[in-house]
Amino acid sequence: MNKNNNLCEITVSDDSVLMNAHTFAEDLARHFHFSLGRDKVQESHLYLYNALAITVRDHLVSQWRKTRMARAGQRRVAYMSLEFLMGRTLNNAILNLDLDDTVRAALEGYCCDLEDVEQAEHDAGLGNGGLGRLAACFLDSCASLALPVIGYGIRYEYGMFNQEIKNGQQVEHPDNWLRNGNPWEIAAPEKAIRIKFFGHVDVITKKDGQQYRQWNNTHDVLAVPYDMPIPGYQNGIVNTLRLWKSEATDEFDLDEFNAGSYTESVARKNLAEQITMVLYPNDSSENGKELRLRQQYFLSSASLQDTINLYVESHGKNFDKFVALNSYQLNDTHPSIAVAELMRILMDDYSIPWDDAWAITSQTMAYTNHTLLPEALEKWPVRLFENLLPRILEIIYEINARFLQQVAVCWPGDSQKQSALSLIEEGHEPQVRMAHLAIVGSYSVNGVAALHTELLKAGLFNDFYQLWPEKFNNKTNGVTPRRWLSHCNRSLSALISSKIGRNWVADFAEVSQLSEFANNKAFQKKWRDSKQHNKAALVDLVEEATGVTFDVNMMFDVQVKRIHEYKRQLLNIMHVIGLYDRIRKGDTADITPRCVLIGGKAAPGYVMAKQIIKLINNVADTINLDPKVAKYLKVAFIPNYNVSAMEIICPATDLSEQISTAGKEASGTGNMKFMMNGALTIGTLDGANIEIRDAVAPDNFFLFGAEAHEIPGIRENYQPNEIIANSPTLSAVMQLLESGHFNLFEPGIYDSIIESIRDPGDMWLTAYDFDSYFQAQRRVDECYKDQQLWTQKSILNTAASGVFSSDHTIRQYRDEIWKL
Ligand code: 26Q
Q: What angle do CA 387, 392, 396 make, to 5 degrees?
A: 115
Q: Which residue among 154, 286, 329, 371 is best mutated to probe the pocket of ligand 1, counting the most ligand atoms within 8 A of its Cβ?
A: 371
Query: Which amino acid is present at 420?
Result: A
pLDDT digits (tens, 9 = 90+) for 342-361: 999 999 999 999 999 999 99
Other CB atoms within 10 Å distance of the CB of residue 626:
13
User: Is the C-beta atom of 130 inside 6 A of ligand 1?
Assistant: yes
Q: Which residue among 81, 84, 131, 375 is best mutated to probe the pocket of ligand 1, counting the most ligand atoms within 8 A of its Cβ?
A: 131
CATH of 548-783 given 3.40.50.2000, 3.20.20.140, 3.30.497.10, 3.60.15.10? 3.40.50.2000
Give me the average pLDDT of each 10-residue run along the chain (820 residues).
Answer: 46 53 89 89 84 96 95 96 98 96 92 92 98 98 98 98 98 98 98 98 91 94 98 98 95 65 75 94 83 98 98 97 98 98 98 98 98 91 97 98 97 97 97 98 98 97 98 98 98 98 98 98 98 98 98 98 98 98 96 98 97 98 97 98 98 99 98 98 98 98 98 98 98 98 97 98 98 98 98 98 98 98
Distance CA 242, CA 239 (A): 10
Distance CA 243, CA 276 (A): 10
**DSSP labels for 210-275?**
-EEEEEES-EEEEEEEEEEEEE-SSSS-EEEEEEEEEEE-S---HHHHHTT-HHHHHHTHHHHHHT
Quote the pTM value.
Answer: 0.97
Q: What is the CATH number of domain 71-88+123-476?
A: 3.40.50.2000
Residue 6 has what pLDDT? 47
User: Is the C-beta atom of 282 inside 6 A of ligand 1?
Assistant: yes
User: Is the C-beta atom of 131 inside 6 A of ligand 1?
Assistant: yes
Bridge partners, 228 (sequence order): 241
How many Cα neighbours within 13 Å face the side chain of 801?
Answer: 33
Tell me the catalytic residues: 370, 561-562, 567, 669, 673
Of 317, 321, 330, nearest in space to 360 by CA: 321
Query: Which amino acid is present at 357?
Result: A
CA 363 to chain centre: 26
Ligand 1: nearest atom to the Cα of 668: 24
For ligand 1, the distance from its centroid to the CA atom of residue 700, given in whole angstroms, is: 29
User: Is the C-beta atom of 667 inside 6 A of ligand 1?
Assistant: yes
Residue nearest to atom 6 of ligand 1 (CA): 282
Three-class DSSP category at 126? strand
Residue 278 has what pLDDT? 97
Bridge partners, 241 (sequence order): 151, 228
Residue 438 has what pLDDT? 98
Question: Is 731 exposed, middle or buried (CB count within 10 Å of its CB: 0-12, 13-18, 19+)?
Answer: middle
Residue nearest to atom 13 of ligand 1 (CA): 131
User: Is the C-beta atom of 477 inside 6 A of ligand 1?
Assistant: yes
User: Is the C-beta atom of 331 inside 6 A of ligand 1?
Assistant: no
Residue 9 has what pLDDT? 52
How many Cα neighbours within 13 Å face the side chain of 638?
Answer: 29
Residue pair 668/130 in contact by the 8 Å Cβ criterion: yes
Domain definitions of the chain by residue range: 16-70+89-122, 71-88+123-476, 548-783
Q: What angle do CA 815, 461, 394 make, to 5 degrees?
A: 90
Residue 3 has what pLDDT? 41
